[in-house]
Amino acid sequence: MNKLLLILFVTSFVGCDAQSKTGQNRKAVDIERLRLKNYAFCMCLNRTYPKIDSITNDGSPAGYFELSAYGIPAFEVIDSLAVAYSRKPYKSKYNRNLGMMKCLDFYNSKELESAIVELDSVLDYKRIK
C-alpha cells in the first residue's frame, strides 16, 4: 500500500512538473508570437508611409527581428503580408488617408494571426528563453 502511494505521489509530482514546463513553453511561444505580430505592425506602417523618415528610419522592426526566435522565412512571410495589406485602399468619406487604421486592422486580423500560428514551424525553440 505504501509503495502504491509513493508511486502515485511521484507520478503526480512529475506530471505537475511537466505541466509547469509546458505552461512556461506556451507563455514563451506566446511572447515570440507577439513580437512577430508587433514586427508586422511596424512593417505595415513602413510600407504604408514610405516617405516619412521618422517611420522608415525607425529601428523597431530590426529590434523585433533581433529579439525573435523565428527564422528568416517567418519574416519574409510577414513582410509579404504587410506589403499586401499596405496596398489595400483605406480612405475616409472625406478622402483622408487611414494608414494607421489599416495597420491596426492588419495587426488584429485573423489572416495575420493564422500566419503567425503557422510560422511556429520555423520557430527556433532552442532560442526561446
The more confidently predicted of residues 9 and 34 is 34
The more confidently predicted of residues 55 and 102 is 102
Distance CA 38, CA 100 (A): 14
Q: How many domains does the chain have?
A: 1
pLDDT band at 55 (very low <50, low <70, confident <90, very high): confident
Cell reading at 109: 486580423
Would you say residue 127 lies in a domain? no
Average pLDDT over residues 17-46: 83
Q: According to the model, what pLDDT value does residue 113 have?
A: 98
User: What domain range is 48 assigned to?
Assistant: 2-122
Distance CA 82, CA 79 (A): 5
Select from 91, 85, 73 the least CA-distant residue to 47: 85
> Which CATH number do you get for residue 35?
1.20.120.1620
Select from 106, 59, 97 the least CA-distant residue to 79: 106
Would you say residue 76 lies in a domain? yes
Would you say residue 37 lies in a domain? yes
Average pLDDT over residues 79-105: 94
